[in-house]
Amino acid sequence: MFFIPGQLIALATFPGVIVHEVAHMLFCKLRGVPVLDVCFFRFGNPAGYVVHAEIDNFNTSFLVSVGPFLINSLLCIIICFPAFFPFQVFGLRHPHSYFLLWLGISIGMHAFPSTQDARVLLSHARRAVHSWNPLAILSFPLVVIIYLANILTIFWLDYLYGIGLGLGLPALLL
């Protein structure tokens, strides 16, 4: 087991941090939530953040929290796909493929929402669940998964998720 400081991992996979914050901000803009402050990347903890106004609509809160998971996962698949064939099928180690895989897996690694996102989602879900909002009901197991995923990052789950999406999923589907 390798233990590398999170800041170094964030530095090595900085495109994922940037895309994660862009996704938060994108969903804020799409749902009309004022964005008060944003940092796409910095050498610190957290490596990036988006400060937005209080959200009173649960669906908006859900999208803003889960948005990075969707965007990062999708981009990871799309970026790794062109590299999958030369790298995995033909065993060719082109620098171009390595670059695409680094980019795609870095983005996929940062797909999981943070525990802060999970906390916000949970507080909104508690209120929205009284109106039987299906997304609110779904949010409870989702919050558990987010917490577990964040804990399991010490076992490189985020890295495995990126590799699984970038190289495992096409192998499974093709």
Site residues (vs other proteins, CB under 8 A): 18, 22, 25, 29, 32, 34-36, 38, 40, 52-54, 75, 78-79, 81-83, 85-86, 89-92, 96, 100, 103, 174
Q: What's the min distance (Å) between Cβ of 47 and other proteins?
A: 16
80: β partners: none
The 10 Å CB-count burial string (b at 16+, else e) for 80-107 is beebbeebbeeeeeeeebeebbbbbbbb
Closest CB to other proteins among residues 46, 86: 86
Q: What's the min distance (Å) between Cβ of 32 and other proteins?
A: 7
Contact assessment for residue 67 and residue 23, using Cβ atoms and an 8 Å cutoff = yes
Tell me the CB-side half-sphere exposure of residue 35, using CA atoms within 13 A.
Answer: 18
Closest CB to other proteins among residues 143, 165: 165
Q: Which residue in 110, 107, 121, 118 sits closest to 145, CA to CA? A: 118
Q: What's the min distance (Å) between Cβ of 141 and other proteins?
A: 30
Closest CB to other proteins among residues 29, 127: 29
Closest CB to other proteins among residues 29, 137: 29
Tell me the CB-side half-sphere exposure of residue 88, using CA atoms within 13 A.
Answer: 18
Q: What is the maximum alpha-carbon separation in the chain?
A: 55
Closest CB to other proteins among residues 1, 54: 54
Q: What's the min distance (Å) between Cβ of 60 and other proteins?
A: 14
Contact assessment for residue 143 and residue 136, using Cβ atoms and an 8 Å cutoff = no
Q: What's the min distance (Å) between Cβ of 102 and other proteins?
A: 12
